[in-house]
């Protein structure tokens, strides 16, 4: 597949994440991890065919003891990752090995209605991007604020759009405080 064909395929086959679909809040209590682990994909005729995993999770009250010592307050988030989990559509099942899923989206689904169908683009907000995991212990992620900070530095117009959509201030776009985990 040529580069032009790849770009065309992406435009036709993928939805683009808009600023209305993100949230910089770190208070989400009901979260889904959505990604495609390396153990669940194959390459067919130069195309990656992946089976995504959607796994409910919730934030940990504090950083696990075995994390890297440098943690950025407001940017580094930690979520539960038990040996088994209620995998959507599969009931309780062993938690899959998440190797190769770095960059998976963590979605706040706290706002979903209790009953009936609900469109994800209305009730789910991307709150973080997975950056690491320790199987059966935790998933580490960067708050969407980290993404907002990176994107805001690219272009002044994009910076203004991010500010208008998320409320990210110039102060928040500056350096985060680093703390040591205990």
CA 94/CA 38 separation, integer angstroms: 16
47 within domain boundaries: yes
Confidence band, pLDDT 50/70/90 cuts, at residue 173: low
94 within domain boundaries: yes
Across the chain, where does the E strand assignment appear?
31-35, 41-44, 47-50, 53-57, 70-72, 76-80, 84-87, 91-94, 105-108, 125-134, 138-143, 178-180
Give the residue numbers spanning the domain of 26.
Answer: 20-144
Q: For the segment 1-53, what is each residue's pLDDT rounded down to a tens digit?
A: 787 887 788 778 777 778 888 888 777 888 888 877 767 778 888 777 877 77
45 within domain boundaries: yes
Q: Which among 78, 70, 31, 84 is positioned nearest to 175, based on CA atoms? A: 70
Q: Annotate 148-161 with b (16+ C-beta within 10 A) or e (fewer).
A: bbebbeeeeeebee
166 within domain boundaries: no
Q: Which residues contact 7 (CB under 8 A, 6 or more apart)?
A: none
173 within domain boundaries: no
137 within domain boundaries: yes
CA 38/CA 55 separation, integer angstroms: 16
**Coil, strand or helix: which one is 55?**
strand
Q: How many domains are there within the chain? A: 1
Q: For the segment 82-118, what is each residue's pLDDT rounded down to a tens digit?
A: 777 766 666 777 777 777 676 788 888 887 777 777 7
Residue with tokens 């890297």: 68
Determine how many CB atoms are found less than 10 A away from the CB of residue 123.
14
**Residue 167 vs residues 23, 24, 162: alpha-carbon distances, Å:** 10, 9, 7
Helix (H) or strand (E) segment spanning residue 173? helix 170-173
pLDDT at residue 134 above 80?
yes
63 within domain boundaries: yes
CA 92/CA 83 separation, integer angstroms: 10
Q: What pLDDT is stored for residue 78 in this prediction? A: 92
Q: The domain that contains 71 carries what CATH number? A: 2.40.10
pLDDT at residue 182 above 60?
no
Report angle CA 92, 60, 18 to the nearest 5 degrees: 85
91 within domain boundaries: yes
């Amino acid at each position: 597949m040529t580069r032009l064909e790849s770009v065309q395929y992406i435009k036709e086959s993928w939805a683009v994440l808009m600023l209305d679909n993100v949230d910089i809040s770190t208070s989400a209590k009901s979260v889904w991890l959505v990604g495609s682990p390396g153990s669940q994909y194959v390459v067919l005729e130069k195309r990656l065919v992946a089976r995504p995993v959607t796994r409910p999770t919730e934030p940990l009250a504090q950083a696990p003891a075995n994390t890297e010592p440098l943690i950025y307050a407001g940017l580094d988030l930690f979520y539960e990752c038990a040996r088994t989990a209620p995998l959507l559509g599969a009931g309780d099942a062993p938690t899959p090995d998440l190797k190769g899923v770095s960059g998976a989206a963590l979605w706040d689904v706290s706002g979903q209605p209790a009953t009936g169908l609900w469109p994800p683009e209305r009730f789910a907000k991307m709150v973080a991007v997975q950056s690491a995991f320790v199987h059966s212990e935790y998933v580490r992620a960067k708050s969407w604020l980290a993404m907002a900070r990176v994107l805001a530095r690219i272009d002044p117009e994009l910076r203004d759009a991010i500010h208008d959509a998320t409320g990210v201030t110039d102060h928040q776009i500056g350096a985060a405080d680093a703390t040591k985990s205990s």
